[in-house]
Amino acid sequence: MLREKGFEPGGQFVWFFHRVSGFALVLLLILHFAYVHFTVDAHDGLVTFNDVMNRLSHPFFKVIDLSFLILALAHGLMGVMLSIQDYIRSRGWRIAAVGTVWMLAIVFGIWGTVTILSLKPFEPGTAPEPVRKMTGLVQPAEDNQAFWPIVEDAR
């Protein structure tokens, strides 16, 4: 009965969901990039790390980014499952591949969710040392709201 309605692996529902989720992912990507990377608040037209963190820490955009994460994982999971169904014929290898893909999806889903939910801007002077070393960013004495890159003399 379910096979007639398109719910078997690779059926009509999977095909439709893959197309709709792909379109939704493009819209969410455009929204994310437009708001986070192209909207400039201050600092002479520069977008600073704290500007981006302030935007990403807003609850509305946490929902947007969580939706983006969940939809991307579901879209990718369905695509990989279709590839496994098409190319792996052995039942044992198929079970191993599907189990591995599900475990990776769960791990990345939890990891991404924790990351998105824990995003917050650094308080002035509290950027961890590894972040300062990795990014080459320091906090200026006058402006404690932004981090500016270190410009080394080329001599």
Q: What is the pLDDT of residues 59-96, one digit of tens each?
A: 888 888 899 999 999 999 988 988 898 898 999 999 99
| Exposed/middle/buried for residue 88 (C-beta within 10 Å: 0-12, 13-18, 19+) | middle
Q: Specify the pTM.
A: 0.66
Q: Which letter, b or e, does each residue of 54-76 get, where b requires 16 or more Cβ atoms within 10 Å of its Cβ?
A: ebbbeeebbebbeebbebbbbbb
Same domain, 116 and 140: no
How large a percentage of the chain has pLDDT more than 90?
30
Question: How far are the Cα atoms of 1, 39, 89, 91, 135 from residue 132, in angstroms, in the given order?
Answer: 60, 24, 50, 50, 5
Same domain, 112 and 130: no
Same domain, 39 and 52: yes
Report the SS3 class of residue 63: helix
Query: Residue 17: which domain range?
Result: 2-121
Same domain, 48 and 100: yes
